[in-house]
Amino acid sequence: MTFKTSPSLLAADFLHLESEIRRAEAAGADMLHCDVMDGVYVPNISFGFFIIRQIAKITSLPLDVHMMTACPQNYLDVLKNAGAASVTLHSDVMPMDELIETLKKIREMGMKAAVSLRPKCPASDVFPCVPYVDMILVMTVEPGFGGQKFMHDMMPKVAELRAYLDEHKPECEIQVDGGVAPDTVAECAKAGASNFVVGTASFRAPDMGEALRGIVKTAEDAVKEI
């Protein structure tokens, strides 16, 4: 299993965003996680497409855009033009038939597609989406705010998804987001996650490179024990 890190820009210093991105690049990040919040789907507002466009101009890292918004289907062209490499939609934001059509359109536009489960949503909610996604995101906190405590009770959901994917689409990644840190990443890896959104534990670590390497090493060591 190949493990990837996706530092979350919510934890970056926005007064020095370019230098923070350079720091993530130098630290060996695999992608940058961009949380777009509209104050409707979640009770918070983060940043929008203009910021993503500016980020895309200065980095070669793939931009992993997590749409925590109402009506994300209205912004696919904007996301493509802004430089998004992958787009994640929440499973409960629209009816399943519309969700599948939107995921298909994302891929037709040349971006990777992903679907996310917030804590209250069971793994089975996204089973119909599996043929149309490259990744499934399991939220290990309630979406909307960074710095929350990791929800250990989400690990059975990750394991259930991994078992389903191993049977139906082994190449599909499972991403986890929320409270992922050196003391929680091992259980994420053991459950079957391979893509780690890291906020506070990356940008606010004394040495970001050491922190990201440590997270990957801990995950690798954890799966060796299985």
Active site positions, annotated: 35, 177
Q: How far apart are CA 67 and CA 177, in angstroms?
A: 13
- Residue ranges of E strands in the chain: 4-7, 32-37, 63-68, 86-90, 112-117, 135-139, 173-177, 195-198
Q: How far apart are CA 53 and CA 184, in angstroms?
A: 32
126 close to 96: Cβ distance less than 8 angstroms: no
Strand order across the 195-198 sheet: 4-7, 195-198, 173-177, 135-139, 112-117, 86-90, 63-68, 32-37
Question: How many CB atoms within 10 Å of residue 226?
Answer: 6
Q: How far apart are CA 20 and CA 17, in angstroms?
A: 5
Q: Phi and psi dihedrals of 111, rounded to 5?
A: -105, 160
Question: How many CB atoms within 10 Å of residue 52?
Answer: 22
Residue whose entry in the numeric block shows the structure tokens 């991994």: 162
Q: Is 192 left (phi over 0), alpha (psi -120 to 50) or beta?
A: left
